[in-house]
């Protein structure tokens, strides 16, 4: 079938599998997968999405964390292409995670077979386990090339979770026709050369941003007459919010109007709020919780400096969103975003878990607002040039073509 597409007779047909894809229960989850799919569609690719959600008994509808899943429709088309939500068996706290490729393959079987019957050129799975492992089962049986994107959790968490999970990740990547990594960090820091079948099929393609969602500001200085910091991300220890909070007392002595706004929610919220209170930061810190994407972007447009000193970050899209808004960024050395910071003067990379380095970086940007604005301007130009979703889709399409030719 791919030969017909290569001759220009019809569109390439891609079946994309991602349990992270946004839905009504998790509208922001995996938004980068949705944005990539939309960009591929704009390039003329016929994309169909299979985005499984957990099966939940009807009697639990509306109750607890998973109570909204029964209301997620089986089929929707919010962006003009079909998004299927078959039910798969999952367990709280990812218990029995090593068996998820089997439960996923069983749950998605009917919709996968129907789409394959209608015509599919290749399968693209986001994450190796469980999505990629489940996709590979269908790829093998129906002789379809499989492309797998690694976003970070496969290497940072799944490889270490259990021997069965590690074997699943490695077998899936060895079986895949092509593998996309979202940062050089993923290629260089997890020993790929010791277990990958061939490094040539591993391609680094950075995530992008949707520039149409950027909120223009006529005069950002009128938004708030303060030195404003912003963090956007899940409230987990590895995101580094606590490090920023610990940096604030010293900074406030020099910048008494400092304002730190935190967008996001998670398991650490109560402890972070307690830490802010303990440090006497009530007048300087605002926990905004999880916000719709457009509201988070408005916060982005109104800050002076974006800071997220995360030490487990493959390549966070949120940094690119900050750059797209013309903001200097503070990230962490050795993480995915450092690949950008090391090559371009658009922000500052600090050592991981280093409060004094965070203080120094914020102080530098606040003391020299002109330099900070120049960083932001360079960052905005960089994103427009190299980090749009269209750029990502063009590179991804090249990987698809390689997979089809080699299969």
User: How far apart (Å, rounded) are the C-alpha atoms in residues 109 and 307?
Assistant: 43
pLDDT digits (tens, 9 = 90+) for 236-253: 999 999 999 999 999 999
> Which among 148, 190, 159, 192 is positioned nearest to 33, based on CA atoms?
148
Mean pLDDT score, 186-193: 84
In the block, residue with structure tokens 């900074």: 251
pLDDT at 316: 82
User: How far apart (Å, rounded) are the C-alpha atoms in residues 355 and 342?
Assistant: 20
Cβ contacts of 171 within 8 Å, gap of 6 or more: 133, 136
Compute the mean pLDDT over every residue in the chain, rounded to the nearest whole number. Answer: 91
Work out the percent of the chain whose per-residue pLDDT is above 70: 94
pLDDT at 235: 94
CA dihedral 236, 238, 242, 248 (to 10 degrees): -130
User: How far apart (Å, rounded) are the C-alpha atoms in residues 354 and 173?
Assistant: 35
Residue spans of alpha helices (H) in 95-217: 100-118, 133-142, 153, 159-161, 163-175, 184-188, 192-195
Most confident of 161-165, 187-191, 331-335: 161-165
- Specify the higher pLDDT residue, 15 or 64: 15
Q: Are 21 and 83 in contact (CB under 8 A)?
A: yes
> Which among 389, 345, 384, 391 is positioned nearest to 364, based on CA atoms?
345
Tokens of 149: 């994107």
Helix, strand and coil content of the chain, in percent to the nearest 5, comes to 50, 15, 35
pLDDT digits (tens, 9 = 90+) for 362-401: 999 999 999 999 999 999 999 998 899 999 999 999 999 9
pLDDT digits (tens, 9 = 90+) for 336-360: 888 888 888 999 999 999 999 999 9
User: How far apart (Å, rounded) are the C-alpha atoms in residues 100 and 172?
Assistant: 13
One fold for both 2-208+388-406 and 211-386? yes
Tokens of 277: 């209170």
Q: What is the chain's length? A: 407
Task: Please name the helix (run of DSSP H) or strand (run of DSSP E) that holds residue 254, with its range, or none.
Answer: helix 241-254
User: How far apart (Å, rounded) are the C-alpha atoms in residues 69 and 331?
Assistant: 35
Please, which contacts does 339-346 make with residues 24 or more away whose CB atoms are closer than 8 Å? 339/183, 339/184, 339/185, 339/315, 340/382, 344/378, 344/379, 344/382, 345/375, 345/378, 346/375, 346/376, 346/378, 346/379, 346/382
Backbone angles phi, psi at 76, to 5 degrees: -145, 165
pLDDT at 224: 53
Mean pLDDT score, 172-196: 90
pLDDT at 215: 55
pLDDT at 7: 43
Q: Which of 109-118, 177-186, 209-218 has the lowest mean pLDDT?
A: 209-218
Architecture of domain 2-208+388-406: 3-Layer(aba) Sandwich (3.40)
Could you tell me the sign of the dihedral formed by the alpha carbons of 374, 376, 381, 382, in that order? positive
Mean pLDDT score, 316-326: 92
User: How far apart (Å, rounded) are the C-alpha atoms in residues 244 and 83?
Assistant: 39
pLDDT value at 61 more than 90: no
- Beta strand residue intervals within 283-361, DSSP E: 285-289, 305-307, 329-332, 347-350
Mean pLDDT score, 305-334: 91
User: How far apart (Å, rounded) are the C-alpha atoms in residues 295 and 118?
Assistant: 40
Task: Please name the helix (run of DSSP H) or strand (run of DSSP E) that holds residue 382, with its range, or none.
Answer: helix 369-386
- DSSP-derived 3-state class of residue 46: strand
pLDDT at 1: 41
- Specify the higher pLDDT residue, 143 or 66: 143
pLDDT value at 222 more than 80: no
Structural domain spans, the chain = 2-208+388-406, 211-386
Categorize the per-residue pLDDT at 185 as very low, low, confident or very high, splitting at 50, 70 and 90.
Answer: confident
Mean pLDDT score, 130-134: 98
Categorize the per-residue pLDDT at 10 as very low, low, confident or very high, splitting at 50, 70 and 90.
Answer: low
Categorize the per-residue pLDDT at 216 as very low, low, confident or very high, splitting at 50, 70 and 90.
Answer: low
Rounded to two decimals, the pTM is 0.84
pLDDT at 93: 84
- Strands 75-76, 83-84: pairing is antiparallel
Categorize the per-residue pLDDT at 219 as very low, low, confident or very high, splitting at 50, 70 and 90.
Answer: very low
Task: Please name the helix (run of DSSP H) or strand (run of DSSP E) that holds residue 17, with its range, or none.
Answer: strand 13-17
User: How far apart (Å, rounded) are the C-alpha atoms in residues 324 and 309?
Assistant: 19
Q: Which of 95-104, 119-128, 137-146, 193-202 has the lowest mean pLDDT?
A: 193-202
Work out the percent of the chain whose per-residue pLDDT is above 90: 74
Architecture of domain 211-386: 3-Layer(aba) Sandwich (3.40)
């Amino acid at each position: 079938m791919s030969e017909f597409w290569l001759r220009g007779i019809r569109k390439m047909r891609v079946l994309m599998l991602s349990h992270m894809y946004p839905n009504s229960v998790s509208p922001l989850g995996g938004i980068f997968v949705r944005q990539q799919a939309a960009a591929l569609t704009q390039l003329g690719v016929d994309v169909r999405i299979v985005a499984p959600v957990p099966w939940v008994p009807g009697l639990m509808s509306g109750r607890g964390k998973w109570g909204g899943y029964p209301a997620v429709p089986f089929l929707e088309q919010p962006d003009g292409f079909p998004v299927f939500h078959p039910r798969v068996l999952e367990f709280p706290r990812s218990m029995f995670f090593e068996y998820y490729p089997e439960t996923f393959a069983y749950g998605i079987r009917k919709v996968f077979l129907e789409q394959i019957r209608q015509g599919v050129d290749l399968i693209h799975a986001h994450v190796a386990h469980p999505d990629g492992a489940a996709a590979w089962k269908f790829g093998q049986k129906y002789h379809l090339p499989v492309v797998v994107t690694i976003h970070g959790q496969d290497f940072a968490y799944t490889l270490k979770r259990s021997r069965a999970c590690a074997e699943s990740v490695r077998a899936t990547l060895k079986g895949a026709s092509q593998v996309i990594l979202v940062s050089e960090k993923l290629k260089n820091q997890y020993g790929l050369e010791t277990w990958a079948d061939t490094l040539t099929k591993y391609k680094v393609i950075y995530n992008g941003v949707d520039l149409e969602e950027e909120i223009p500001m006529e005069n950002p200085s009128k938004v708030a007459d303060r030195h404003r910091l912003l963090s956007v991300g899940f409230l987990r220890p590895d995101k580094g919010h606590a490090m920023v909070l610990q940096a604030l007392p010293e900074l406030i002595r020099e910048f008494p109007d400092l304002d730190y706004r935190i967008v996001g929610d998670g398991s650490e919220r109560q402890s972070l709020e307690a830490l802010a209170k303990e440090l006497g930061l009530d007048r300087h810190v605002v926990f905004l919780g999880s916000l719709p994407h457009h509201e988070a972007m408005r916060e982005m447009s109104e800050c002076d400096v974006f800071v997220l000193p995360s030490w487990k970050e493959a390549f966070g899209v949120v940094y690119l969103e900050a750059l797209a808004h013309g903001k200097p960024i503070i990230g962490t050395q050795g993480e995915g975003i450092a690949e950008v910071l090391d090559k371009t003067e658009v922000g500052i990379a600090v050592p991981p878990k280093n409060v004094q380095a965070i203080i120094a970086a914020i102080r530098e940007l606040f003391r020299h607002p002109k330099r900070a604005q120049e960083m932001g301007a360079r960052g905005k130009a960089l994103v427009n040039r190299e980090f749009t979703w269209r750029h990502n889709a063009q590179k991804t399409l090249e990987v698809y073509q390689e997979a089809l030719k080699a299969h």
